Amino acid sequence: MTVALWCILIALVLPPLCALIAKVSSGRFGLKDNHDPRAFLDTLSGLPRRAHAAQQNGYEAFPAFAAAVLVADVVGNAEQVTQDVLGVMYVTSRLLYIICYLADWAALRSLVWFAGLALIVSFFVVSI
């Protein structure tokens, strides 16, 4: 399996990691809150709320990334090393995005988000 395909798995586990950060950093998540975790997460503020928002964005961005990697893999016109580098760069952009969200660096977070989008588009461009 290629590095780019492994990056799909890594990108898939980042949103639940953000959910864990949201729940643990709130300091008040318990078993009773797990009956309706979405309602609990909607009551958060500060860092836990930002971690929850990063989780939601991760799930929103994931399908486009997974599709881009799979399209590049199926079309096969791009060198594998190019696909692998783009995959690692995308995962790195998502990690930076999460850090920016948690640190409340809104402007930098937006720039990193656009970089991630450009990397997704790059998978299609290199596949032409």
Per-domain residue ranges for the chain? 3-126
Predicted TM-score (pTM) of this structure: 0.93
CATH 3.40.462.10 fits 3-126, yes or no: no
pLDDT of residue 31: 55
pLDDT value at 99 more than 60 = yes
Task: Give Dmax (Cα) for the chain.
Answer: 52
pLDDT of residue 26: 84
Name the pLDDT band for 32 (thresholds 50, 70, 90): low
Q: What 8-state DSSP symbol labels residue 62?
A: H
Q: Looking at residues 58-69, what average pLDDT do you find?
A: 98
pLDDT value at 3 more than 80 = yes
Q: Is the dihedral of CA 68, 70, 73, 76 positive or negative?
A: negative
State the helix-helix crossing angle for 80-103 and 106-126, rounded to 10 degrees. 170
Q: Are 7 and 90 in contact (CB under 8 A)?
A: yes
pLDDT of residue 44: 87
**Any alpha helices (H) in 27-79, and if so which ranges?**
37-42, 46-75
List the structure tokens of 84.
Answer: 């692998």
pLDDT of residue 29: 66
Q: Which of 81, 63, 83 is nearest to 124 (CA)?
A: 83
pLDDT of residue 39: 81
Name the pLDDT band for 23 (thresholds 50, 70, 90): confident
